[in-house]
A = this chain, B = another copy of it.
Amino acid sequence: MLLDGRKVARELKASLKEKIAKLNNKPHLVVVLVGSDPASLTYVNSKKRQAEQVGMASSIIKLPESTSTETLLETVKNLNQDDSVHGILVQLPLPKQIDTNRVIEAIDIHKDVDGLHPLNVGLLRNDRPYFIPCTPKGVMRIFEYYDIELEGKNALVIGRSQLIGKPIASLLLKENATVTQAHSKTKNIQQLIENNDIIIVAVGHKAMIKKDMLNEHHIVIDVGIHEDGETLVGDVEKASYDKVKAITPVPGGVGPMTIASLLENTYIAYLRKEGLDETSI
């Protein structure tokens, strides 16, 4: 079975659009882009376009590649203080001269729709999430949409990035899965795959997980995305799609959920700022 992230994202965005239409004002997402990396520019434009599709206001602030940490901190500070801004996203990665940690820690946690501020990281780790990082949040929504039981299941997360691997592990643990976190220093990956029911692959290497490493009981989430000639491919070999029990395809799996979750987080930020009931989500 293919886990259709495009469909889940479409439904989520349709629901957000309806709710946003009833608000007095538009939630406003600001994306800050430093430099002119083509991939980053594509992502940022896509975020703006989709935000507008659901009825949000959206701005992009473009800063030159040579921007200093201090200048970027000043930009973030201004956005923090701007009452018309509900969500701030600083597109990563940042140029080398910028202290990324300082920039992320400067974002007002009430506007940290990317969920990367260490206070948000700590609250998530303590099972009291405030903003959940977008891709992990999207993955959990796919599980929920397809009614995939997590409690008591053995889940293997391959990869331990701050953006993906670690927050997904925290969320799976919160749902009572038994969670193993593997990474580049892990020695027995094949045995771990065999011993687990759910495999989250977030390694960032094209088709690294091969068909013969997986079996027909596995539920697989492929967070990778790589160009492959005219198309895209994930961290999992496409040949495995008809072998496993269920998998998120690339393209059309996790990818579309990331921006949908970002929009949802921005909507939540708006509700909180206005003192509105966020349980209505």
This chain: how many copies in the complex? 2
Question: From residue A272, how far is it (CB to closest CB) to chain B in Å?
Answer: 17
Is the CB–CB distance between A160 and B183 below 8 Å?
no
CB-based contact A185/B192 at 8 Å: no
Q: How far is the CB of A122 from chain B (nearest CB, A)?
A: 3
Question: In chain B, what residue has the closest Cβ to A151?
Answer: B185
Q: List 22 A-B contacts (CB under 8 A).
A: A118-B119, A118-B125, A118-B126, A119-B122, A120-B122, A121-B122, A121-B126, A125-B125, A125-B162, A126-B162, A151-B185, A152-B187, A173-B181, A178-B180, A178-B181, A178-B182, A178-B183, A178-B185, A178-B192, A179-B180, A179-B181, A195-B195
- A186 CB within 8 Å of chain B: yes
Contact B188 A154 (CB under 8 A): yes
Interface membership of A48, Cβ < 8 A: no
The reply on A191 being an interface residue by CB < 8 A is yes
Q: Complex Cα distance A101/B126, Å?
A: 10
- Which B residues touch A183, using CB under 8 A? 173, 176, 178
A119-B119 Cα distance, complex, nearest whole Å: 4
A101 to B122, CA, bound (A): 12
A140-187 at interface with B (beta carbon < 8 Å): 151-152, 154, 160, 162, 166, 169-170, 173, 176, 178-183, 185-187
A117 at the interface (CB under 8 A from B): yes
Bound-complex Cα distance A126 to B187 (A): 23
* A128 within 8 A of partner (CB): yes
Write the chain B residue with the least CB distance to A196.
Answer: B180
Complex: A178 Cα to B188 Cα, angstroms = 9
In the complex, the answer to whether A195 meets B186 with C-beta atoms within 8 Å is no
